[in-house]
Structure 1
Amino acid sequence: MIRLVTVLVIFLVSQVIASQTKFEQGMQKAFTLMAQNKNDEAANAFERIAQVETDNWLPYYNLALLKARTTFQMADKKKVAVEIKAAEEFADKAAAISPDNSEIYVLKAFINVAKIVMDPMTNGASLSPETIAFYQKAIALDKSNPRAHSGLVEFEMGGARYFNQDLSPYCKRLKATIALYDNFKPASKFHPNWGKEWVVGVLKECGSDDEAAEEVDQEVTEKVEGIILTVNVPNVTSDKGVLRFALYDKATFMKTPLDGQVAKIKDGAASIELNNVAPGEYAIICYHDGNNNDALDYDENGMPKEDWGMTNNPVLMGPPTFDIAKFTVENKSLDLTIKF
């Protein structure tokens, strides 16, 4: 009976890992490339996804955001202009798919900010009214969008700073947006969820020494620096196919994973990196998809034909549980080994 239950559970786990769509796998890869500062590769990945997912605004949104963000690190104005033009085109494509989207209006305002930074004398006065209007439209569409509120305050603060005005009213308004970030829940892990770390940085310039702000700052710093989980499987029986990994916490175990990755096999070994993992307790399950069919295969007796394993490498006397596979992430990166 235990053997039958274990087989059924393994089957369910394989289906959950395999249930990640091509879109989810592609987006996860693109975000990982961004986290590694491989911006050109990330942009190419988003563009490939956009060409396939023609009714999804997220790939074009992230393309535009990525293009705009990279301009702040460029000194060559000609290159900046090229990237900003591309960002505007991708933002327009996202808007065509999802009109009246609060996040896209924030994006358009952000692109305007990049244009102003590129040439403040030319663009500052001409683009300011439109930029403010973009943020106001974003707030009207979604009053809970923290990026819309903080973006507007930061933009107005920039003007006040330019004219040497008192910044304390703006700092107070900006600090209030932290609660919006704390209460915000994105529709998925691929939906916009950025901005809080930047707000905390601006609050530092405001001279805020409030204890709550310091706690937020510490939390964001840990997230930005990122905890990396490196997962190694050293004893794969064949280089054919791929290894599929799924990361869970206690609430998601045996359900939809927090993250899923696919790794190529070389000389009987494979490894992955999971980036920006928050402190907490997790478990990882992986299996060898030898024929690359997105599923764990079984023989005629219902036993797995392909190898699988989980963190802590437990000897199972029943179905897998979170407690026997769990490990703790604290404040440093970890190297983990799963053996088949």
Structure 2
Amino acid sequence: MKNLLAIFIFVFMIASYAFTQPSAYQKAMGRALGALGQAETTEDLQKAGNQFQRISTQMPNEWLPYYYQSLALTRMSFEEKERGDELADEAQRILDLAKPLVTEAKDKAEVKTLQGMIYTAKLVVDPMSRGQLYSAMSGKAYQEALQLDPTNPRARLMSIRSKMGAAQFFKQDLFPFIQQAKVLLDEWDNFTPTSKLHPNWGKKIAQSVAKADIKSEKSSKRTAKLAKSLENSSAQTTPPDSLLGFSIEATITGLRSNDGVILISLQNNQKEIVKRKKATIQNKQAVVQFDGLQPGTYALKYIHDENNDGKLNFGFMHIPSEGYGYANNARGSMGPPAFEKTTFPLQSNLKMTLSTMYH
């Protein structure tokens, strides 16, 4: 009996020790991530990518090794212009192996962000002929990533860089994008990766974007305008909305008359009302603009207050007798749509067209 008890205790101790030790997979991933993080040359990136490739052959059902190998190849594509297409295509092939293995929205956002980077790598090979196609594709990928996880800092960062690159190409103002990068940096550490192995890169890139040297004439004028506004406005403690933050312009269509007004409210992702506005109606349409908004997730809803009583009126069986609508033109089956269906990410100035519902 004593021998059996001793054996049981020994087995239990061994099992407990094994449970608390990092697995071979975790150790290998840790080493490969260290190599990727320290990579400064394409040779370094290739070596790191090879480590992830070896891990994926042993653990083919894990998406992270494929993801990081694809990331290494994408970074190489930006560095080696002559092999840019070849490396980007290989990055795409590897990322496609990861996609079926990803189930969580938070992880899908990471994959979508990397997808956008691959499209950008393809664009960089030949900007003149590929700019229109691949800029749209990368922008869509970043937007989809933000819809999956609006808090993802890499999706926000790559979206900012993409728009900043387009602005540089067309010699436009860079100031708004630098300001966005600064806001992102302030919020960067609010994002918590699922594990130590999950993506957590990008902060240094955001720092470099936030410190970008603004030399364009437009940027200088805008900076001077902002400084003057802050200096001269004694009664105003914050700059005007038009100088800080993003704007949302909502065009409300499908109104059945010019009677009354539009009452519209903007909410944050906690369902708190951020701003309310009243808009007049002309030609059975109304245009409402919200300014001075910080990046984030918002929701929007409105009513056509035809009798100017400040509320949505109801008729028989509590069916609305006035018009109403939501962002994304969301619809509910037996009542208002779920709040999530009315939300949208805001990472730049946004225009939307909303269609009014009547019963």
Which interval holds the TM-score relative to the shorter structure? 0.5 to 0.7
Q: Is this contact kept in 1: 2:178–2:212, CA < 8 A?
A: no
Distance 2:59 2:115 in 1: 21
* 1:31, distance to aligned residue in structure 2 (A): 1.9
Aligned to 1:128: 135
Distance 2:68 2:80 in 1: 19
TM superposition score normalised by structure 2: 0.51
Aligned to 1:287: none
**Structure 1 residues 41 and 166, CA, compared in 2 at 3 Å: closer, same or farther?**
closer
Aligned to 1:94: 98
Aligned to 1:188: 195
Aligned to 2:69: 63
Q: Is this contact kept in 1: 2:120–2:138, CA < 8 A?
A: yes
Aligned to 1:25: 27
* 1:19, distance to aligned residue in structure 2 (A): 1.6
* 1:22, distance to aligned residue in structure 2 (A): 1.4
Instruction: Name the structure, 1 or 2, with higher relative contact order (CA <8 Å, separation 6+).
Output: 1
**Structure 1 residues 148 and 21, CA, compared in 2 at 3 Å: closer, same or farther?**
same
* 1:136, distance to aligned residue in structure 2 (A): 0.6
Distance 1:90 1:180 in 2: 31
Q: Is this contact kept in 2: 1:145–1:180, CA < 8 A?
A: no
Code of the aligned partner of 1:67: L
Q: Which structure has the larger Rg over C-alpha atoms?
A: 2
Distance 1:106 1:184 in 2: 15
Distance 1:158 1:148 in 2: 15
TM superposition score normalised by structure 1: 0.53
Distance 2:32 2:175 in 1: 39
Residues 118-147 of structure 1 show CA distances to partners (whole Å, capped at 9, x for unaligned) of 211122111111111100100000011011
* 1:36, distance to aligned residue in structure 2 (A): 4.9
Residues 253-301 of structure 1 show CA distances to partners (whole Å, capped at 9, x for unaligned) of xxxxxxxxxxxxxxxxxxxxxxxxxxxxxxxxxxxxxxxxxxxxxxxxx
Residues 142-190 of structure 1 show CA distances to partners (whole Å, capped at 9, x for unaligned) of 0110111121121111111211212212222221111331211111111
Residue 211 of structure 2 aligns to a residue whose secondary structure is helix
Identity over aligned pairs, percent: 33
Distance 2:154 2:36 in 1: 20
Distance 1:35 1:175 in 2: 23
* 1:49, distance to aligned residue in structure 2 (A): 1.4
Which of residues 76, 82, 86 in structure 2 aligns to 1:82? 86
Residues 315-340 of structure 1 show CA distances to partners (whole Å, capped at 9, x for unaligned) of xxxxxxxxxxxxxxxxxxxxxxxxxx
Give matches, 1:167-206, under 5 Å.
167-206=174-213
Distance 1:81 1:166 in 2: 30
Residue 205 of structure 1 aligns to a residue whose secondary structure is coil
Aligned to 2:52: 46
Distance 1:136 1:159 in 2: 16
Aligned to 1:269: none
Distance 1:68 1:23 in 2: 23
Distance 2:169 2:155 in 1: 22
Code of the aligned partner of 2:47: E
Aligned to 1:336: none
Distance 1:31 1:39 in 2: 11
Q: Is this contact kept in 2: 1:144–1:180, CA < 8 A?
A: no
* 1:72, distance to aligned residue in structure 2 (A): 2.2
Code of the aligned partner of 1:66: A
Which of residues 124, 145, 153 in structure 1 aligns to 2:152? 145
Q: Is this contact kept in 2: 1:171–1:206, CA < 8 A?
A: no
Q: Is this contact kept in 1: 2:179–2:210, CA < 8 A?
A: no
Q: Is this contact kept in 2: 1:49–1:59, CA < 8 A?
A: yes
Distance 1:170 1:35 in 2: 26
Code of the aligned partner of 1:32: G
Residues 58-86 of structure 1 show CA distances to partners (whole Å, capped at 9, x for unaligned) of 000001000000122224x2x22221111
Residue 20 of structure 1 aligns to a residue whose secondary structure is coil
Runs of 4+ aligned residues of structure 1 deviating over 6 Å after TM superposition are none
Aligned to 1:297: none
Consecutive unaligned residues of structure 1, counting only runs of 5 or more, are 1-7, 209-340
Distance 1:88 1:117 in 2: 15
Which of residues 116, 120, 131 in structure 2 aligns to 1:113? 120
Distance 1:93 1:137 in 2: 19
State the Cα RMSD in Å: 2.6
Residues 7-52 of structure 1 show CA distances to partners (whole Å, capped at 9, x for unaligned) of x9xx79x937972111101111212333453333322221121122
Aligned to 2:240: none
Residues 58-115 of structure 1 show CA distances to partners (whole Å, capped at 9, x for unaligned) of 000001000000122224x2x2222111100111111121155000000000111111
* 1:193, distance to aligned residue in structure 2 (A): 0.5
